[in-house]
Amino acid sequence: MKKSAIFLSAVLCLHVISFAQVTRWQQAVKYNMNIDMNVQTNRFTGKQRLEYSNNSPVVLNKVFYHLYFNAFQPNSSMDARSQELGKVLVSNRPDWDGRVKDRIANLKEDEIGYQKIISLKMNGVPQPFKYHETILEVNLTKPIAARSKVVFEMEFEAQVPLQGRRSGRDNPTTGVRYSMSQWYPKMCEYDYEGWHPTPYVAREFYGVWGNFDVTIRIDKDYKLGGTGLLMNAAEIGWGYDAPGTELKPTNKAKRTWRFVGENIHDFVWTADPDYKHLAYKMPGGGPTLHSIYKYKSNNPKNDSAWATVLTAAAKALPFIEKNFGKYPYPQYSFIQGGDGGMEYPMATLLVGPGLGTVFHEWLHSWYQMMLGTNESMYAWMDEGFTSYAEDLVTKFYDNKSALQG
């Protein structure tokens, strides 16, 4: 074959390959939030600065936010769905989620959840918006150009509902005061399929990757755990600066906690005045593991069980990393809170210290938290892989498996 023919064939081949490749992109966010919590009214105010990168090739004429707390109101879509499921009998019992049932319908005015937007600006210009229950639609006064960056500034207020699905306050089972998951106005995901303004009816989640810098002002007696590194650990104490230290005294009525998390797609935190904190630093530069739970003076076995969470995690982590990949974040917190077991970046909320749930929720850090799949559409992807990993890790921990890699 002549050189010219070979060259032409190579050019044509590259041309075909170039058209076969899909240009992939993903949006990016950078949240900076300042929260002021009132533990008497169970309400908080917030200021949010959101740097939003439109890395897509598409001009965006509108954006959407999630307002999850609005689901915890009588006659909401979540309430209606749960009550409809309650009309379906399986083995002569209602087929609703036992953690929801008809509880939302019975919430009083000071028990419901809500998120209200006081103001919203893009690059300093006020933006019009309208509510669709748990979704905020923002019709932009100026489109966001493709591959450009804008800054949204928002002021909002919210009321924490009685413990409902995953998030809320004053859980009667655990006594935990605040389980703050799905608690802030969160930008919806925009990807190659378009916008995903999925209404919240107890489904799973899908979020935009980015960085979070969250400052929380709360009553000085409250102790916090959550996503990210505590940046002012020396000021707070309580085992964050060094193992076993007490909460440092302050003359102020409220204490300020600042957490920072990078390259994640959500942020969770919890608060209670009776929390206890255990910490363990993995050797060799590994992450710090935290166990944060409700202290019970009349139940010493509770301390032992939550301590076992840390020893079990420390034993399992080398096996997990060898078989499923390195854990990329500097810390992980096992926190008593929520209404069962639910995973978030760098933290999980757990009703109790059962190791089966501990391993399962932690392993979601590999399957969904790192992969960022759309749980609301493909729940089987993270749940399936996580359940498989949980089985292997449990067998390893119980010395029932020789699997090494």
At 327-344, the pLDDT tens digits run 999 999 999 999 888 999
Is the pLDDT assigned to residue 24 strictly greater than 90?
no
In angstroms, rounded to a whole number, what is the distance separating the alpha carbons of residues 217 and 29? 23
**Burial of 58 from C-beta contacts in 10 A (0-12 / 13-18 / 19+):** middle
At residue 375, the pLDDT reads: 81
State the Cα–Cα distance between residues 331 and 292, nearest whole angstrom. 13
205 pLDDT band, cuts 50/70/90, is confident
pLDDT band at 120 (very low <50, low <70, confident <90, very high): very high
Per-residue pLDDT at 101: 81
14 pLDDT above the threshold of 70: no
Task: Convert 126-143 to b/e letters by CB count within 10 Å (16 or more is b).
Answer: ebebeeebbbbbbebeee
Q: Which residue has the higher pLDDT, 258 or 9?
A: 258
Higher-pLDDT residue of 204 and 333 is: 333
For the chain, report the end-to-end CA distance as a whole number of angstroms. 48
Query: How far apart are alpha carbons 403 and 405 in whole angstroms?
Result: 6
Please tell me which residue, 103 or 53, carries the higher pLDDT value: 53
Spatial separation of the C-alpha atoms in residues 164 and 200, rounded to whole Å:
13
Q: What is the pLDDT of residues 143-197, one digit of tens each?
A: 999 999 999 999 999 999 999 888 999 999 999 999 999 999 999 999 999 999 9
In this prediction, residues 360-379 reach a mean pLDDT of 88
Q: Is the pLDDT of residue 5 over 70?
A: no
Tens digit of pLDDT for each residue in 343-357? Answer: 999 999 999 999 999
Strand partners, 210: 29, 264
Give yes or no for residue 268 having a pLDDT over 60.
yes
Q: How confident is the model at residue 381 (pLDDT cuts 50, 70, 90)?
A: confident
Whole-angstrom distance, CA of residue 199 vs CA of residue 135: 6
- In 3D space, the residue among 370, 376, 274 whose CA is nearest the CA of residue 326 turns out to be 370
- Round to whole Å and give the CA distance between 119 and 117: 6
119 versus 79: the higher-pLDDT residue is 119
Give residue 299's pLDDT. 81
The whole-number pLDDT of residue 86 equals 80
- pLDDT for position 377: 81
pLDDT at 405: 42
Which band of pLDDT confidence, cut at 50, 70 and 90, is reported for residue 66? Answer: very high
**CATH number listed for the domain at residues 26-208:** 2.60.40
Q: Where exactly are the structural domains of the chain?
A: 26-208
